[in-house]
Amino acid sequence: MLTSSTFSFTICFAVWMMFAVLGIPVKKMLGLNETQFGLLAAMPVLSGSLVRVPLGIWTDRFGGRIVFFGVMLATVIPVWLIGYATQYWQFLVLGLLLGLAGGSFAVGTPYVARWFPKERRGLAMGIFGAGNSGSALTKFVAPAIIAAWGWQALPKVYAAVMLVTALLFWCFSATNPAHNVPNTTSFGAQLRVLKDRRVWRYCQYYSVVFGGYVGLALWMTKYYVGQYGFDLGLAALLAACFSLPGGVLRALGGWVSDKYGAYKVTWYVMWVCWVCFFLLSYPPTSMQVQTVDGSLTLDLALSPWAFTALLFVAGTAMAIGKASVFKFIGDEFADNIGAVSGVVGLAGGLGGFILPIMFGALLDLTGVRSSAFMLLYGTVCVSLVWMHFSFRPTPATIAAPVTAPRAAA
């Protein structure tokens, strides 16, 4: 179950992030500004986020196998039609429809989690969540397809791959009716758990570690092209240095969370992101300093390699943080994982939708590319303050007798 679900989610995530690369030639063809490009890249994230709540509830009720299979089949035709789009509104509408692929996360998480005992659930969900590496897969594969056959070929190839993946998943997965909620349980009863304030706390955490990851995964290829003048292939390759660890190492985050506890892990993840975004947000600067021997000019800027190294660290931290947040959910809402993971996933996805648009708007307003990281730095500051004052660790959130980071702070 874990293998087939993780592979399928990887393909779904690759399709979901398609506009991170495809959007660059489309932007040039249509003459879009930065804000319009941000909206185009973010449209699949919007719909993929909004459907997570109903998909999570349906997974609890009907089982993950049939829902996951249906989600993949439903995206095939919209993805194929993107290859024939010629106008901006057509790309936006089809982007909304292909966004259903992103909703697969809310299906696979409860589907996988229920096959494992509590002490292994964090690792299992982390391995499944490593399907986020589909974002890096797109950055490796999509530029080669575009260079060989043109951008119109990419959606057609992805549609065919999605169809094959759906059939493979159906052949290599199974259903356990005991994992479903009773038929007598109403949708209202499933949603009642959302009154729990812990759910909204985890929404806030996830909007940073997952929303920020999705926003940067969509934006970084274009950032490298604009900031450093790289071609599409090299820009996508370097952007994958963020996307790949941000996906693959989620399994490590699940194991670490099982071992040390979700609260402690999430706390330190936020601090690592705070440092990385502070350094990344500093724009290239020239300063003239008056010395006893005359004027001294200082040029401060991150080289492409230092920039990529910091991105790698941030991506690693976000991967671990995504797993630690869902460790909270697996431990505290084991009987209603679908509904809770759907809402938390919705919050994270909405962050991923809003951020690319704000990145583009800030760039249009200020002309400073690193303003994207200034925004992320501010969100992490808010998160740290909120976490410090609102979180009260409980026995369920601490896996080992360790000193709480808050006390050290």
Of the candidates 271, 162, 290, 225, which has an alpha carbon nearest to the alpha carbon of residue 20? 225
Work out the average pLDDT over 102-108: 87
Note whether residue 211 is domain-resident.
yes
Structure confidence by residue, pLDDT tens digits, 160-178: 999 999 999 999 998 888 7
What is the rounded (10 degree) CA torsion for 218, 221, 227, 229? -160
Give CA separation, 212 vs 29, 45, 54, 88, 347, in Å: 28, 12, 23, 25, 11
Note whether residue 178 is domain-resident.
no
**pLDDT higher at 337 or 288:** 288
Give me the amino acid identity at 217. Answer: A
Over 50: is that where the pLDDT of 286 sits? yes
Q: Do 285 and 300 meet the contact criterion of CB atoms below 8 Å apart?
A: yes
Structure confidence by residue, pLDDT tens digits, 52-93: 888 888 888 888 899 999 999 999 999 999 999 999 999 999
Over 90: is that where the pLDDT of 374 sits? yes
**pLDDT higher at 162 or 293:** 162
Looking at residue 297, what is its pLDDT? 85
Note whether residue 187 is domain-resident.
no
Note whether residue 182 is domain-resident.
no
Which region among 264-278, 352-366, 389-403 has the lowest average model confidence (pLDDT)? 389-403
Q: What's the structural domain count of the chain? A: 1
pLDDT band at 188 (very low <50, low <70, confident <90, very high): low
Which residues constitute the domain of residue 79? 2-173+192-408
Note whether residue 314 is domain-resident.
yes
pLDDT-above-70 percentage for the chain: 91
Over 70: is that where the pLDDT of 183 sits? no
Total-model pTM? 0.73
Q: How far from the centroid of its chain's Cα atoms is residue 186's Cα?
A: 30
Work out the average pLDDT over 190-196: 69
Cβ-Cβ contacts under 8 Å for 401 (sequence gap 6 or more): none
Region of 302 on the Ramachandran plot (φ > 0 left; ψ -120 to 50 alpha; else beta): beta
Note whether residue 79 is domain-resident.
yes
pLDDT band at 149 (very low <50, low <70, confident <90, very high): very high
Residues written for the chain = 409
Work out the average pLDDT over 332-359: 80
Note whether residue 185 is domain-resident.
no
Q: What is the CATH number of the domain that holds 294?
A: 1.20.1250.20
Straight-line distance from the first to the last Cα atom of the chain, in angstroms, rounded to the nearest whole number: 41
DSSP string, 104-168: HHHHHHHHHHTTS-HHHHHHHHHHHHGGGGHHHHHHHHHHHHHHHH-TTHHHHHHHHHHHHHHHH
Note whether residue 181 is domain-resident.
no
Work out the average pLDDT over 336-353: 80
Q: Is 391 exposed, middle or buried (0-12, 13-18, 19+ CB in 10 A)?
A: middle
